[in-house]
Amino acid sequence: MENEKYSVEAENNSADPLENIKEVESQDLNLDNFSSDNENIVLVWAKKFGLLVFEVLKVVLISLAIILPVRMFLIQPFYVEGASMEPNFYDKEYLIIDEISYRFDQPERGEVIVFRNPKNTKQYYIKRVIGLPGETIEIHSGDVFINGQQISEPYVKDLSSQSFPELTLADDEYFVLGDNRQVSQDSRYFKALNEKYIIGKVWFRGWPIDRIATFNPPSY
């Protein structure tokens, strides 16, 4: 009897779970049980995320469209290296270079410019324009003469006793000197500077904070 009872209970127990499983499966496969509200929430958040990504990309692209041309063709940052322009520009000072002005005008005497070293175009120099195209330059014991007339240079603190023979500049050439004449490698070293090497003129000093300034050429 016990065996019969066990078998009956086993049969009853084995039948009930199958019916339950089928019932659960049928309920799970019934799409009517899904809530349209859940779908709407997912769609709303997906749209919001997509709009956020789109807005971020738009801002980035607009910023690049504005910044890259300015950075490449209008202004460029440079750091001063060395002591060749002391006491007016010191090592590690941060400068902004105006690259656009010389597309319309020629460099003026007294302007401080950045250019590629004609003897090594991977190297950049910062110097002051002294001689202009067509002029004749000569240096006697540190004194600069242009077309036979000595010029005043209040921006130079320590003159060099070095002399330089007479040189007449071509129509596309400039004569540049460092303000610290005793240590500067300039046109006394590489002679006339062709305008094709000029990058731009120093417009703004942004660092250090206590030396922030804009620059204009001195009067001669």
| CA distance linking residue 139 with residue 142, whole number of Å | 6
Beta strands in the chain (DSSP E): 75-79, 94-98, 112-117, 120-131, 136-140, 143-146, 149-150, 164-168, 173-177, 193-194, 198-207, 213-214
**160 by DSSP, 3-state: which?**
coil
**What are the residues facing 175 on neighbouring strands?**
131
Residue type, 57: L
Q: Hey, CA dihedral for 16, 21, 24, 27, is it positive or negative?
A: negative
> What residues act catalytically?
84, 127
Tell me, what DSSP letter sits at residue 73? I
Q: Is 136 exposed, middle or buried (0-12, 13-18, 19+ CB in 10 A)?
A: middle
Question: Can you say whether residue 151 is alpha, beta or left, with left for phi > 0 and alpha for psi between -120 and 50 degrees?
Answer: beta
